[in-house]
Amino acid sequence: MTYPRLPRKLSLILVLSLMTLPTWGAIELSQSFTADQTIPEGNPTGLTAKGFFTQTIIDPRANQVASISLGIQLTGGYNGSLFGFLVAPNGRMVTLMDRPGTAADGFGAASSGMNITLADNATVNIQSVTDGYGTTLTGNYQPKNPMGTLGCTPDNLTGNWQLFLASTMSGGGNATLKSWTLDIHLVSPVPEPGSFYAALALLLLLLATQLLRQMDPRRLLCRPVPQARWPRNRPAARYAVADLLARQREPGIIMLR
C-alpha cells in the first residue's frame, strides 16, 4: 500500500510545532563538606558544622526543588543518643534525628558511627532503626521530619547551610563528624495541560487536513491512466483482445496499432 507523502511546507510546520512544545528539565546538585569535628558525649551544646553551598544551576528549565537529601559520615559514639537538625540558607530548620531507634525499643540504636543518607523517599525512618551493638549504621533512611519542610527554592539554595549534631547521653564516648553531603534534585514544573493539548490538537488537525486532501476522490480521478499497447516484438495476430485486457493491472484505453 502506498501512503501519501507530506509536502515540504507541512513537514516544516510540524517540525517547528514540535520544537515549541513544552520541555522538562532536571538537574542534580551535590556538594560535600569536610568536618572532622568532635561531638562531645552528654553535651547538649553539640557542634555546628557550616558549609557554603555554591553550586550553579546551569539549566534554567529546572526551576523547582523536587527533593533534598543529606549524607552523614561519622565515627564513634553511641548512635542512640544523637540529636541533629539542618538549617537552610532561608533560615528554616528540619529535625533530622532525635535519638535514632527509640521508636523501635525506647532505648535507641546500639550501633556506633554511621554512613547514611537521609532522604524523604526512603522506606524506613531513622527513628525506627534496630542495628546491633558494635556495628556501623549504613543505608538510606527518612529523617525524623521531612526535608520538604525546608521550603527551598532555586533562588535560596546558595548560601550557608548548618548541620547541628549533639549527644544527649554519656557513656558511649565521643563521636566524630567526618563529612556531610548535600544532594539537591531540581526539575521543571509540569506545564499547563491546556497549552500542551492545544499544540497537540493543532498538529493532528494539520496532519488530518493534508491526508484528506491527498485522498480526495476528485484528485484520484484526474490521475492519468497508462495506455496499453500491442507488444512490438511479437505478431499482433497471436494476441486476443480478451487476453490483453486480463494482463492489464490498471484499467485503460486499448490502442491497437
Highest mean pLDDT among 62-66, 80-84, 192-196, 229-233: 80-84
Q: What is the pLDDT of residues 128-182, one digit of tens each?
A: 998 878 899 999 999 999 999 998 888 888 999 999 999 998 888 899 999 999 9
Average pLDDT over residues 16-37: 73
Determine phi and psi for 86, rounding to 5 degrees: -125, 135
Average pLDDT over residues 18-41: 78
Determine the pLDDT at residue 127. Answer: 94
Average pLDDT over residues 169-197: 80
Q: What is the pLDDT of residues 59-80, one digit of tens each?
A: 667 678 889 999 999 999 999 9
Spatial CB neighbours of 123, under 8 Å, sequence gap ≥ 6: 142
Determine the pLDDT at residue 26. Answer: 75
Element (H, E) at 39: strand 26-39
CB 182 within 8 A of CB 118: no
Vertex 157: Cα angle to 23 and 147 (nearest 5): 90
Which residue shows C-alpha cell 535514632?
Answer: 100
Spatial CB neighbours of 88, under 8 Å, sequence gap ≥ 6: 94, 150, 151, 152, 156, 161
Please tell me the distance from the alpha carbon of residue 67 to that of residue 169, in angstroms, as a whole number. 32
Where do the domains of the chain lie, and which CATH numbers do they carry?
Answer: 26-187 (2.60.120.260), 224-257 (no CATH)
Q: What is the pLDDT of residues 110-129, one digit of tens each?
A: 889 999 999 999 999 999 99
Burial of 143 (0-12, 13-18, 19+ CB in 10 A): buried
Q: What is the pLDDT of residues 4-22, one digit of tens each?
A: 555 555 555 555 555 555 5
Determine the pLDDT at residue 187. Answer: 84
> How confident is residue 242, by pLDDT bands cut at 50, 70 and 90?
low
Element (H, E) at 46: strand 43-53
